Structure 1
Amino acid sequence: FSGPGIAINSISISSTFCATGSEDGYLRLWPLDFSAVVLEAEHEAPVSSACISPDSRKVLCTTTAGNLGYLDIQSRHYNTLMRSHEDSVLAFSVEGIWKQMATVSRDNTIRVWDLVSMQQLYDFTAAEEMPCAVAFHPTQQILACGFDSGTVRTFSLAASDLLVEHKQHRTVITGLTFSPDGNFMFSSCLQGTLALYSCMAQKSHVLRVLCNVVARDAGSGPDALVVSGDSHLLAFVGPSKYIVTVMEACSLDELLRVDISILNLNSTALDSAVRVCFAPAPRGELLVSTSSNKILMLDAKTGRLVREVSPVHKLSCSSLALSKDGRYLLTAGDKVIKVWDYQMRFDINFQVYIGHSELVRQVAFTPDQQHVVSVGDAIFLWDFLALPAERSPLAGSEKLKDASETPRQTAPLPLLSLPPCLDVSSVHQAGCQSIFSESDKEEEAGPPGSSRVVANGDKDASVLVVESVRNEELIVRPKVRQESLKSPGQSSNEPRKETKSPKSQCSIRPDSYRHFTPRFKASVLPQSFLSPPAGSEVLKLKAVIGYNGNGRGNMVWNPDTGFFAYTCGCVIVVEDLHSGSQNHWLGHAEEISTLAVSHDAQVLASASGKRNGDSHCQICIWNIQDGVCTASLFHHETQVQAMAFSRDDRFLVTLGDYRDQTIAFWNTYTCELMLSTSISEPVHDVAFSPLSHRELACVGKGAMMFWLLEQQGADVNLKVHRAPAPDVLGPVELTSICYGADTLLYSGTNSGQICVWDTETNCCFMTWEADEGEIGVLVCGRNRLVSGSNTKRIRLWVVAAVQELRLKGPDARSSSVLLEHEITLDGTIVSAAFDDSLEMGIVGTTAGTLWYINWTESTSIRLISGHKNKVTEVCFSPDETHCATCGEDGSVRIWSLGSMELVVQFQVLNQSCQCLAWKPRPVVAWGAESQHVVAGYSDGTIRVFSISRTEMELKMHPHAAALTAIAYSTDGEMILSGGKDGLVAISSPRTGMTIRVLAEHKGSPITVLQCTRKQYRDFGVEGGELWLATSSDRRVSVWASDWLKDKCELLDWLSFPAPAGPEGLGSLPPSLAAFCPWEPGTLVYVGFGMQKEALFYSLRKKQVVEKISLPYFATSLSLSPAARFMAVGFGERLLRLLCC
């Protein structure tokens, strides 16, 4: 037979005719001689199979689109029996009013089904996008769908119409759900972004977007977000796969964090969360399935572990759900479904249901609890035959118990960033605030005039938000005012006495991260210190590792000359970007807040806080050519917020912080103060006009201030025009500023808008939404603009059309501004410098990192990286080619001593790393070089890291309290660890077992553990190792041990006397001890005592054999193994090298 060349996929023959199914979608009936087509039926997709019924009255066929139907030959009618997806089903949602179910699949379709008839009602196809999450509105015929492009769309099923399209996400949607009351919708994506939408109206709109809060590495799933039955709480896995976070659903305020990885103290492997689910409202429990095949049942208010179920499946549980009456639990995993008795009252508490051939992606009860739906390789609808729960008359009253009698008068204020609470703890606990780093505190400050009071009752934790409103308003000066002052004749080194305008009586920190706040300072400068003459120093600073992310605008780079400088504490680091060599300018005694470089790159200005006893903070003027401080300026009383040079470098303007509230103008040639005036409200940033050295502008609360300098002989006049921000922005802080081309001026706000001003009319003619957070950095070059914010993003905008739009005034459209590039970094953006074309630049973040940015290549490379806050320990590798550091930020970092570059970093979230040790060289000659470090953490755990494999090899939990000291035995076969409770544990890194616990120092934190070798029978005791433990109560124990023979014997016990009460000391200095490398059998001790001294104690003579006087009580100690040198650190910021 010859045909039209169409492929036949199936053929079926009966005694009277033949049926064929072909690639063109036709089912055809032929006579047995195939002379002509008798009957045909067209399908939307190729026919994959055809089968004639035994009575030859019907022909059954299937299509590649997943449809099953039959052709009735006598009536010539075609009936579709079933439709199905062509590929795996990714997610579903069920609603109870209209009894419908929606599914999404890899075949790029969204389908809506009738649960009663199981017939398909609607079919939506996304040609170039794959739907991956779906949710029904609980009360309206609205369907929300999330796509792999990051788009979230809502559809009206009643009108079969698209309602609204949201593009807050950039990648695959992993979670999408409505609150049970239908007021809110939530979505999350693979990048960790979480969005909150209001659904009060039919068309939803965005209320809040948070970045990096949902776990990126927990794996995508359709039910990543869950809302409690009362619509009050939202839960998800994040910000890491080890953490489960609970938020207030209506505001996304964080209420609770639970660290899943530490709940199992007996496991050496890190457990992570996979899925979460709320129990019905009366129970108040949160269920978490974990990677170790458990289900943890937690108290949703406190995070307390109520009970756990293990093992649940052979592999991790991919989905879980509870029945509405709270009696049954569904879990999916291992391609099976299990139904559990929630109370776990029987010997076997589950039943297994088999049917899926692939991974079960989602499982849930229907709202009437009559069926169970599961999806994966297909859609399964199961009859649920369990007896219904008896109705309890107390159910209604139980729900009302937790209800407040009085409604809230005001909505709670959202936090600006997430508070990183430790372990299993509620943020309601008062002690939680102590874990914030200094740089975090300023980012999480509340808005002006508000205070937050946190209370925790005995039975039920709650948050009480108290709003305090200032009675007095900030002083608003006239729009134009003129002040005239004569040029001062005093020396610039002497603070001027002048009459200042009255300031606002309320010095509340502004609601802006851009405003500088110094780190908490626990140390004081030495009363007298004489540095050695130049050229005769024994110690010389070689390198500084770190960038102060707490500063603001504290990094400068001139692309023409290559000059690059940044601050770390009170040190200015001038670094060669090609060679990496550093010069250190040491002129400040306090933390440097900001830097400014002149346009000719010949002068650098730096500002820091005031020293103890000084009445004004310090501004240093540096000659860049030779690094010499040519002048020190004193004027501002608290901190300098920002500085800028005029275009011709004749003037320097300095801006005081919110407590100082003054602006000062300096003559850069004479370094004299020309003019100073008070400002009625805090200001955040200042910039000189590129067109005139007499014009400048600064930004503050709700206004831009344009300044004009007029100089006639010795008289200097200053005029100011205060231009309010556009009313459309509402109450807002203008936080950043930069001049653009011609007469354009850009300013950022704390709500994410960028305003464009015309400097000829001093009016704002255009705004656009540039970010979801506060914009603290702006840099403009030619027709491009860079913005940096506290969402950790820097964005590159094309603003070429803005100049043309200036002529249109208020009618300018922000759509003419194009977002060209975007890069997400590791922290809030605090400083930035770019070349004139904005193609490349350097950006600083609060994480203590300086990044090289190349927009052309869309790359970001770490230039400088350090610990975000306090460094707690440092140790060297045995070959002295590397060193390791750890800090309160929970990181362990390995550095190359040759290049001072970061080699590898190990990060533990929500824990502080307190102590560190490098594994010593093996005793045997053929042993491999050590590539391991061990670290102790605040949760009592010990982690062993392999540097060569860049992974954690072992986790142990020998302590109930935070670790304070750790050391390897001399052969590296044992780990000695000491805790805050004074217990010393000896553990084997080979087996992970703790073989011995010593309680001699119990009650006083261990400060030092150190091991050294000895002759086996030396000191009259057996063992090839000598080790000591020091505790903060000025006691030192010395031990001899042979771990292979399980021998550990106390050799000596030392107690050092001290006065009854310290005078002038807020806290006692630590007790420290170390074995003396050049005097075997001798140890050195420093600590609080009768005198400020270092004591050398002989273990053989049992007495102090030498004393070295010290200027202060020591806080750190290290003895050189190669020479008779001892390094001693003091709380007065002094480091001294002593020759012994």
Structure 2
Amino acid sequence: MYNVFLKFYFLTEEGYMKIYLRGRPIYLYAPSSIEQFDINDPEEPPNEQLQLEYVHGYRGRDARNNLFCLPSGEVIYFTAAIVVMHNLESDKQRHYIGHTDDVKCLAIHPDKVQIASGQVAGHDDHEGKPHVRIWNSQTLETIHVIGLGDFERAVCCVSFSKVDNGHQLVAVDDSNDHSSADPVLAAEFHPTQKNCIVSCGKGQITFWTLEAKKLNKKSGIFGKHDKPKFILSITFSKAGDVYSGDSNGNIFKWAKDPSGSFKITKSATGAHEAGVFFVYMMNDGTILSGGGKDRRIIQWDDSLKPTGAQGEVPEGFGGVRTITEDTDGNIVVGTTRNCLFKGSLEQLKVEVQGHMDELWGLAAHPTEPKFLTAGSDKLNTDPAHSCCIHPNGQVAAIGTETGSWMAMDLTNRNILCTFKDAAEQIECIQYSPDGAYLAAGSRDNGIYVYSVEDDGQKYSKVGKCSGHSSFVTHLDWSTDSKFIVRNVPSCDQETSASDLRDTEWATMSCTLNFNNAGIWPEGADGTDVNGCDRSHNQQLIASADDFGKVNLYRYPCSQPKATGHALRGHSSHVTNVAFLADDSKLISAGGGDMTVLQWTVL
């Protein structure tokens, strides 16, 4: 075991930096133009800054309590560590970025301005424990941070009281040790009864009363109805009636009888094919129910009789996770495949489409303000892991987790060809600057090289570059399209690294290089930096790390422990970064949070 993971030395006579990475020496040769180099000189951060401009993603796969509408006309939802306020008409966003890790729940105060949002445990030393943040949706200022040290794993539900104008807040811990013995999926203050909270979850719907700072509970009685495995959602009428949707596909209306027990008074059994993932009370008094499996949205009157109106989320976009109503009477629907729809029951239009599995592949278009992402979603192909775009901007190559790769025409999305030469996942893939070759680095330690003809329409294998002792995770081509660490097209090994010290590289995605050695943080173990990208004007370099940070440095960034700007927004490991063609924006990809962030370079 090595106590020092990353240690730097510079040998002046030899002209290289020597890094001990977990005890293993790595030699990074300096360009011959560098005659003097002091490894202890400070590296100042760049003058340029990053500002979050747009968030691509929505967390519907595994989160509830995640979609509402504001009086401003914006919908509010969350993904990663960001709460997004999105005007779907203008496609403009604002963001609350006070959280340090995954946001799990939202609630709007009766004043329609204050927001409560709860998060999971995070990396931050000061505010890394699960907590609730109260903030102003107009100014984005944090008002209170509460619950630090009180929660175990995550805050899964929050709700403001209604009767007393939001003077109380209920927050539920996503742990095994809370007042309810089973997992809680929703908890809300009753709209007409003071100090009353209704919660639901595994095998239960519970009515709580707060008296003398103590919660007293009464469980709902199912009577002749089969007790479902889960009560998935609750909603309230303006009169205070409680409605629930469950895993058996039923919708129940609950009321308190003279004895004080809460019982079912109306039912719509088998309302959906499987679970009723969400029930929502519309402003006109009708109820919408959303099916998790059948993707249907059905309208009911307050007696749980169908009105005949219904809609359906298109196939491939997931089941209904949540429903809300905007200021114009349109419905907004979140799905289990991380998508948002808006419209009427009869016509829903997709507004947000996010990845719904781990995301690693990212490539910027060579000339236009566009970018390509590739994840493990497995929508139409094998799970994808890497991607790149031909210099002509018309064709993309996509590497998969199974070891195959395919070329795709971006104009019509037709698959041009598929190759399966690697035994394991394609970790990285890149066209040469002249577009004549394609290199694919695999988890099987090899780089597979292909010739490219007819502007990216035809491919043939040239050879395999062998000799790596581990996975090939990154690769860069020289500007003359002759080198990728190996010699192309012969795939002969260039044994003297010093002979390539003055080679100009078209890209800078390899994370260990003399000119980017400073992107490695103190204590790094060699796996903490997942990717990097150099701006096209060669003034900046950005990196993606395991701590949820996007980092921006000056380029070259050779000084160890260089100072840069570290930005948060992602909630898991950041897997990749890429500058757009004009360097005006930086794109970052989150692995586990499945979110793409768009940053403006200021």
- Sort the TM-score into its range (normalised by shorter chain): 0.7 to 0.9
Q: CA RMSD in A?
A: 3.2
Q: Does residue 688 of structure 1 match 2:199?
A: no
How many angstroms does 1:590 deviate by? 1.6
Aligned to 1:1118: 533
Report Cα offsets for 1:807-862 as digits up to 9, x if no partner. Answer: xxxxxxx7x4444203134123333212489x52212122111111312xx11111
Counterpart contact for 2:64–2:185, Cα < 8 Å: no
**Contact preservation (8 Å) 1:1076, 1:1084:** no
Cα deviation for residue 602 of structure 1 reads: 0.9
Q: Secondary structure at the match of 1:543?
A: strand
**Which one of 265, 277, 280 corresponds to residue 765 of structure 1?**
265
Unpaired segments of 5 or more residues in structure 1? 1-531, 662-677, 803-813, 891-906, 922-929, 1015-1024, 1029-1036, 1056-1073, 1088-1093, 1097-1105
Q: What CA deviation, in whole Å up to 9, does each residue of 1:734-761 have, x standing for no partner?
A: 2211112524211111111111112455
CA distance in 2, matches of 1:758, 1:946: 59
What letter matches 1:1009 in structure 2?
A: L
Other structure's SS at 1:1006 match: coil
Rounded to whole Å, the distance in 2 between the matches of 1:720 and 1:645 is 19
Aligned AA for 2:482?
A: L
Equivalent position of 1:705 in the other structure: 206
1:987 to 428, 447, 450: 450
Q: CA–CA distance in 2 between the matches of 1:1082 and 1:818?
A: 60
For residues 835 and 760 of structure 1, the distance between their equivalents in structure 2, rounded to whole angstroms, comes to: 35
Does residue 847 in structure 1 map to residue 337 in structure 2?
A: yes
- 1:649 paired with 2:59, answer no
Matches of 1:586 and 1:1131 in 2, distance apart? 19
Q: TM-score, normalised by structure 1?
A: 0.40
Matched, 1:859 2:313: no
CA shift, 1:1026, in A, is 2.4
2:232 counterpart (735, 748, 753) = 735
State whether residues 704 and 725 of structure 1, in contact with CA within 8 Å, keep that contact through their aligned partners in structure 2: no
State the distance in 1 between where 2:539 and 2:61 align. Answer: 39
CA distance in 2, matches of 1:1080, 1:845: 43
The corresponding residue for 2:82 is 571
2: CA distance, partners of 1:1084 / 1:978: 13
Change (3 A) 1:578 1:1083: closer
Report Cα offsets for 1:361-405 as digits up to 9, x if no partner. xxxxxxxxxxxxxxxxxxxxxxxxxxxxxxxxxxxxxxxxxxxxx
Matched residue of 2:166: which SS?
coil
Q: Is the 8 A contact 2:507 2:534 kept in 1?
A: no
Q: Distance in 2 between matches of 1:887 and 1:572?
A: 23
Specify the alignment match of 2:72 in structure 1. 561
Task: Determine which of 576, 580, 587 is the counterpart of 2:91.
Answer: 580
Query: How far apart are residue 878 of structure 1 and its match?
Result: 1.5
* Residues 577/950 of structure 1: CA separation in 2 closer, same or farther (3 Å cut): same
Render the CA deviation track for 1:32-62: whole Å, top value 9, x for unaligned: xxxxxxxxxxxxxxxxxxxxxxxxxxxxxxx
Question: Which among 798, 813, 822 is matched to residue 300 of structure 2?
Answer: 798
For residues 549 and 437 of structure 2, the distance between their equivalents in structure 1, rounded to whole angstroms, comes to 35
Asked if the contact 1:658–1:681 (Cα under 8 Å) also holds between the matched residues in 2, the reply is: no
1:198-241 deviations in whole A, cap 9, x for unaligned? xxxxxxxxxxxxxxxxxxxxxxxxxxxxxxxxxxxxxxxxxxxx
Deviation of the 1:799 alpha carbon: 1.5
For residues 821 and 660 of structure 1, the distance between their equivalents in structure 2, rounded to whole angstroms, comes to 40
Judged with a 3 Å threshold, the aligned counterparts in structure 2 of structure 1 residues 702 and 588 are, in CA distance, closer, same or farther, namely same
Equivalent of 2:429 in 966, 974, 985: 966
Alignment pair present for 1:882 and 2:301: no
Alignment of 1:1019-1038 (within 5 A): 1025-1028=481-484, 1037-1038=485-486
Q: Report if aligned partners of 2:159, 2:171 keep a CA contact under 8 Å in 1.
A: yes
Provide the residue aligned with 2:152 in structure 1: 637
In 1, Cα distance between equivalents of 2:49 and 2:292:
43
CA gap of 1:660–1:862, structure 2 versus 1, over 3 A, is farther
- Write the distance in 2 (CA, Å) between the matches of 1:1054 and 1:943: 32
What is the letter of the counterpart of residue 520 of structure 2?
L
Q: Decide whether the 8 Å contact of 1:639 with 1:660 is kept in 2.
A: no
Distance 1:551 1:957, change over 3 A: closer
Aligned residues: 490
Q: Where do 1:100-499 residues align within 5 Å?
A: none
Which has the greater radius of gyration? 1
Q: Please tell me the residue identity of whatever aligns with 2:323.
A: A
Shift of 1:1052: 4.3
Partner of 2:467: 1001
- One-letter amino acid of the structure 2 residue matched with residue 1117 of structure 1: C
Q: Shift of the alpha carbon at 1:934?
A: 0.9
Cα separation, partners in 2 of 1:1127 and 1:993, compared to 1, 3 Å: closer
- Structure 1, residues 1030-1078: CA drift from partner, whole Å, max 9, x if none? xxxxxxx342x4x5xxx555444549xxxxxxxxxxxxxxxxxx9999x
Contact kept? 2:118, 2:155, Cα under 8 Å = yes
Aligned to 2:394: 931
- Pair 600,794 (structure 1): closer, same or farther in 2 beyond 3 Å: farther
- Partner SS state of residue 540, structure 1: strand
Q: What percentage of aligned pairs have identical amino acids?
A: 20
- Contact 2:292–2:336 (CA under 8 A) maintained in structure 1: no
Asked if structure 2 preserves the Cα contact closer than 8 Å seen for 1:966 and 1:1009, the reply is yes
| Separation in 2, partners of 1:639, 1:875 | 34
* Contact 1:643-1:653 at 8 Å conserved across structures: yes
Please give the per-residue CA displacement for 1:525-576, whole angstroms capped at 9, x wherever unaligned. xxxxxxx99x986122222211122452353333643132211111112222
- Tell me whether 1:1095 sits opposite 2:585 in the alignment: no
- How far apart, in 1, do the equivalents of 2:54 and 2:521 lie? 26
TM-score for both structures, normalised by structure 2: 0.74
SS at match of 1:542: strand
- The equivalent position to 1:823 in structure 2, one of 312, 316, 338, is 312
Corresponding residue for 1:952? 415
**Contact 2:197–2:209 (CA under 8 A) maintained in structure 1:** yes
- State the AA in 1 paired with 2:464: L
Q: CA deviation at 1:1082?
A: 11
* 1:543 partnered with 2:54: yes
Give the Cα separation in 1 of the matches to 2:505 and 2:466.
25
Choose which of 221, 226, 233 in structure 2 pairs with 1:724. Answer: 221
**Alignment deviations for residues 392-427 of structure 1 (CA, whole Å, 9 cap, x no partner):** xxxxxxxxxxxxxxxxxxxxxxxxxxxxxxxxxxxx
CA distance in 2 between partners of 1:553 and 1:1083 (Å): 40
Alpha-carbon spacing, 1:557–1:685, altered in 2? closer, same or farther (3 Å) = closer
Alignment partner of 1:941 is 2:404: yes
Equivalent residue, structure 1, for 2:245: 748
Counterpart in 1 of 2:133? 620
Structure 1 759/795 Cα, relative in aligned 2: closer, same or farther at 3 Å?
farther
Deviation at 1:994, TM superposition (A): 3.4
Report the CA distance shift for 1:615/1:626 in structure 2 as closer, same or farther (over 3 A).
closer
Q: Structure 2: how far apart are the matches of 1:787 and 1:777?
A: 6
Q: Is the 8 A contact 1:973 1:989 kept in 2?
A: yes
Classify 1:1120/1:679 alpha carbon distance in 2 versus 1 (closer, same or farther; 3 Å): same
User: Do the aligned residues in 2 keep the contact of 1:1076 with 1:1082 (CA within 8 Å)?
Assistant: no
2:388 matched residue in structure 1: 917
Corresponding letter in the other structure for 1:931:
Q
Offset of residue 621 of structure 1: 0.3
Relative to structure 1, the CA distance from residue 943 to residue 636 in structure 2 (aligned partners, 3 Å threshold; closer, same or farther) is same
Give the letter aligned to residue 198 of structure 2.
A
Whichever residue aligns with residue 1116 of structure 1, its letter is G
